[in-house]
């Protein structure tokens, strides 16, 4: 192995053992990952910043490297990058599966189609693209069903559904979790689930591990642990192995590794999914070697280099358990007992993936875990008892979000921003006179039955837990100067939007570097909107809008707030847009186009006539011209006109709010479809970073739910009966 070089795709926690094992074998490790600070990048011989999902970029990087040195193999472990591995292998002539076969093993629709063609046992299914197709499919399938994104992992966006009334929420979750937008609906398979690893070399398939998967937290599918070896009867395990081997042949996987999730139902084993890689979830790297003494990753690396596996014979027969920390919900104030857990006899590893200040939420996918323990014992009961003892030894002290206050967040932000006198308006949260909300008063009906509250909805074809959007203040770069790098600010914003299931707007502020940063961050999350400064030519705006769409933005906006900026350096230049320009831009896009900064009735009518129905009404104009119409009045007038119209166009009205809670509730009752939080989101992020912003979002949800209970509302929508102009 000396002087040989291997590319390892991915540098996350589960890739670290693969990098270390490769180095122990004498290999030179070249590691690709988007995150330069990932665990594996720090120990790689040659770390390279390339996204694991960027197939073309990875191939280019690998080809460039091959001109400088001989590359002998490429592999991934536990990361959804088998298509990237195959593409690199094909491009460099290395051992590997064909790209189209690896792709079929990465896309659940293509996978199921191959299984169907080859009579591999699996549930009935339908690929669906929109809600109408999903409802039609639901009516043709046995209940319950499961909706999944076709091309994601870690149980992200996966949900079990029994009733037609829950289909919309489940579809939106799956759709927003799919990079391609493809969704699959299939019949639910009832019964225990097995996780199986296999290696493939020279037309032989080697079984290298069968574990019981523990799945909990319905209607979601959270793997809370697994136990190696399986405790099922031998005939059921043999049936599952046969079905998985049939699946491997149907996918035409010829070399490397395969990981299968196989359900053991009353009608026999069925394939959940098969991936062209070794398992994640600590199985291939930890529980299988601890259970058998076999270094599975070493054998997989040998195959990736074109050699047969050298040592697959078990050396002992022990039971190994992986179990997840799921301590509850709240803010982590402290974590104690880690060393105590590590010192328990039989505990091999304790992984803590969270830190003080993080907010724990009820898990909806396999990324929502606080950590994991790995235990080993002579018997199943002993290994489980050891794992439970370690879990019980680690204490996550959680503080309910209620114990953190906006007053504390505001105080800390004031200290950090003390020298920035031009930001004093932030701590008034903008006056009611500026927003116009003080002109509207509530007239609640307080005698009513309590109704179930539904905040989740769909905004720009993306499922959200509540209809809010995190946005940035107009002079963000100056405001952050000396406090936080704008890259960090944007990354926190998108990370929190993703974890809290809301949307976020990243502004380019007419800066090419900020635009490139925005699309780079949004590409990883698919929950972002890029807001382009309108003070540019049609060509520049069209180019940036198309780049935003290409990189996964769920919408793109044009901010016209500054077209008549009387304080602009270019005092004689007015950036006016024509209806034709905006219409051309709309026609060039497949994602929604948002226009920000309108207040004039004629402008709004002209936009509607061009089928641009996403309008963002903001307070930005108050900094430029005096006497601009208030957002609250504009929103309410549109809602009243639509309500009184016989032919109602579909309008998405976004309102900017400096504050949350009751102010947001006013905007919704006035007719807004979503509210963009600006000043308060900035204060929360500057004050306490991710923790502060998450707190603000969860607090906002709590406040909205409280207001809805008071007013007897189950949904947020226009209601002229409970609010009127004073």
Fold type of domain 124-187: Dna Ligase; domain 1 (3.30.1490)
Q: Within a 10 A sphere around the Cβ of 580, how many other Cβ atoms? A: 10
**H/E/C letters for each residue in 64-89?**
HHHCCCCCCEEECECCCCHHHHHHHH
- 605 CB-near residues (< 8 Å, 6+ apart): none
Q: Which residues pair with 556 in a beta bridge?
A: 530, 593
The helix (run of H) or strand (run of E) holding residue 389 is helix 380-393
pLDDT given at position 179 = 82
The span from the CA of 331 to the CA of 692, in Å, is 10
User: Is residue 481 over pLDDT 90?
Assistant: no
Every domain of the chain and the residues it spans: 5-94, 95-106+190-316, 124-187, 318-399, 406-725
Share of the chain above pLDDT 90, in %: 52
CA-based nearest residue to 97, from 110, 118, 107, 82: 82
d(CA 289, CA 278) in angstroms, rounded, equals 13
Average pLDDT of the chain, as a whole number: 86
Instruction: List, in sequence order, every residue forming a beta bridge with 48; answer none if it has no partner.
Output: 32
Strands 330-336 and 268-275: unpaired
CA separation for the pair 71, 141 (Å, rounded): 48
Which residues in 65-104 are b (16+ Cβ under 10 Å) and which e? Answer: bbeeeebbbbbbbbbbbbbbbbbbbbbbebbbbebebbbb
Q: Work out the pLDDT band at 568, boundaries 50, 70, 90.
A: very low
What SS3 class is residue 178?
A: coil
Helix H or strand E encompassing 27: none
Angle at 29 between CA 24 and CA 31, to 5 degrees: 135
Report whether pLDDT(380) > 90: yes
Question: Which two structure tokens, joined as six digits, stand for 624?
Answer: 């430029």
The string of pLDDT tens digits covering residues 595-638 is 887 767 677 776 766 677 888 887 654 444 444 555 656 666 66
- The CATH classification number of 318-399 equals 3.30.470.20
Pick the CATH number of 5-94 from 3.40.50.20, 3.30.70.580, 3.40.50.300, 2.30.30.30: 3.40.50.20
- State how far the Cα of 622 lies from the Cα of 570, in Å rounded to an integer: 19
Q: pLDDT for 47-99, tens place per residue? A: 999 988 889 999 999 999 999 999 999 999 877 889 999 999 999 999 999 99
Q: Do domains 95-106+190-316 and 318-399 have the same CATH topology?
A: yes
Beta-sheet strand order (sheet of 371-377): 268-275, 256-265, 193-201, 204-216, 222-228, 319-325, 371-377, 347-352
How far is Cα 511 from Cα 604, in angstroms, rounded to an integer? 28
Cβ contact 310:302 at 8 Å: yes
pLDDT of residue 188: 98
Predicted pLDDT at 410: 78
List pLDDT tens digits, range 317-347: 999 999 999 998 877 888 999 999 999 999 9
CA dist., res. 677 & res. 610, Å (int): 28
- Residue 194: helix, strand or coil by DSSP? strand
Q: Tell me the pLDDT tens digit for each residue of 486-520.
A: 888 999 999 899 888 899 999 998 889 899 999 98
Choose the CATH number for 95-106+190-316 among 3.50.50.60, 3.50.30.30, 3.30.470.20, 3.30.43.10. Answer: 3.30.470.20
Superfamily of domain 406-725 in the CATH hierarchy: Aldolase class I (3.20.20.70)
Which residues of 495-564 form beta strands (DSSP E)? 503-507, 528-533, 555-559
Euclidean distance between CA atoms 69 and 66, whole angstroms: 5
């Amino acid at each position: 192995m000396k002087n040989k070089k291997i590319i390892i795709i991915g540098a996350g926690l589960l890739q670290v053992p693969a990098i270390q094992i490769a180095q122990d074998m004498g290999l030179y490790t070249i590691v690709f990952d988007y995150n330069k600070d990932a665990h594996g990048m720090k120990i790689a011989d040659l770390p390279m910043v390339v996204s694991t999902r960027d197939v073309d970029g990875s191939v280019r990087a690998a080809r460039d490297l091959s001109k400088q040195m001989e590359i002998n193999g490429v592999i991934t472990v536990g990361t959804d990058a088998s298509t990237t591995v195959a593409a690199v292998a094909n491009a460099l002539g290395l051992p590997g599966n064909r790209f189209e076969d690896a792709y079929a093993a990465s896309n659940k629709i293509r996978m199921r189609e191959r299984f169907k063609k080859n009579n591999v046992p699996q549930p009935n299914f339908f690929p669906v693209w929109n809600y109408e197709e999903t409802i039609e499919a639901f009516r043709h399938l046995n209940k319950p069903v499961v909706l999944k994104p076709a091309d994601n992992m870690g149980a992200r966006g996966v949900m079990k559904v029994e009733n037609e009334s829950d289909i919309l929420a489940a579809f939106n979750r799956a759709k927003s979790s799919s990079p391609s937008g493809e969704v699959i609906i299939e019949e639910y398979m009832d019964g225990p689930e097995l996780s199986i690893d296999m290696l493939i070399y020279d037309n032989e398939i080697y079984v290298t591990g069968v574990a019981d998967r523990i799945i909990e937290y319905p209607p979601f599918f959270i793997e809370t642990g697994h136990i190696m070896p399986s405790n099922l009867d031998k005939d059921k395990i043999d049936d599952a192995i046969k079905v998985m081997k049939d699946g491997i042949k149907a996918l035409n996987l010829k070399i490397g590794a395969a990981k299968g999730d196989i359900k053991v139902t009353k009608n026999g084993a069925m394939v959940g999914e098969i991936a062209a890689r070794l398992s994640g979830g600590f199985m291939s790297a930890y529980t299988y070697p601890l259970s058998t003494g076999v270094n599975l990753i070493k054998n997989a690396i040998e195959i990736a280099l074109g050699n047969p596996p050298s040592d697959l014979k078990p050396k002992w027969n022990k039971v190994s358990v992986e179990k997840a920390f799921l301590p509850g919900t709240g803010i982590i104030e402290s974590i104690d007992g880690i060393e105590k857990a590590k010192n328990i006899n039989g505990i091999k590893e304790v992984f803590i993936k969270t830190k003080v200040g993080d907010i724990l939420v009820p898990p909806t996918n396999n990324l929502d875990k606080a950590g994991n323990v790995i235990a080993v014992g002579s018997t199943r009961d002993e290994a489980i008892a050891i794992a439970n003892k370690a879990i019980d030894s680690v204490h996550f002290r959680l503080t309910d979000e209620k114990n953190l206050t906006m007053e504390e967040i505001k105080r800390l932000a004031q200290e950090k921003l003390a020298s920035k006198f031009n930001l004093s308006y932030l701590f008034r949260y903008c006056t009611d006179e500026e927003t116009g909300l003080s002109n509207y008063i509530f007239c609640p009906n307080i005698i009513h039955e309590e109704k179930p509250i539904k905040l989740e909805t769909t905004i720009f074809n993306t499922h959200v837990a509540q209809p809010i959007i995190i946005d940035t203040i107009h002079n963000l770069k100056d405001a952050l100067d000396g406090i936080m790098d704008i890259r960090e600010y944007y990354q926190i914003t998108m990370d929190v939007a993703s974890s809290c299931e809301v949307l976020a707007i990243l502004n380019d502020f007419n800066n090419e570097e900020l635009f490139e940063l925005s699309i780079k961050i949004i590409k990883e999350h698919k929950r972002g909107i890029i807001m382009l400064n309108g003070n540019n030519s049609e060509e520049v705006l069209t180019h940036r809008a198309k780049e935003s769409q290409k990189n996964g933005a769920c919408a793109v906006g044009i901010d016209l707030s500054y077209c008549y900026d009387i304080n602009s350096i270019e005092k004689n230049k007015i950036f006016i847009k024509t209806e034709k320009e905006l219409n051309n831009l709309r026609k060039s896009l497949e994602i929604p186009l948002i226009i920000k900064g309108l207040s004039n009735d004629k402008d709004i009518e002209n936009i509607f006539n061009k089928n641009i129905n996403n309008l963002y009404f903001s307070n930005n104009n108050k900094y430029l011209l005096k006497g601009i119409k208030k957002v609250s009045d504009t929103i309410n007038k549109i809602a009243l006109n639509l309500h009184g119209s016989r032919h109602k166009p579909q309008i998405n009205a976004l309102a900017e709010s400096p504050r949350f809670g009751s102010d947001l509730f006013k905007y919704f009752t006035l007719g807004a479809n979503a509210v963009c939080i600006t000043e308060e989101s900035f204060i929360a992020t500057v004050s306490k970073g991710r923790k502060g912003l998450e707190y603000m979002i969860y607090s906002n949800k709590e406040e909205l739910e409280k207001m809805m209970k008071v007013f007897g509302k189950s949904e947020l929508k226009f209601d002229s009966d409970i609010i009127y102009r004073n």
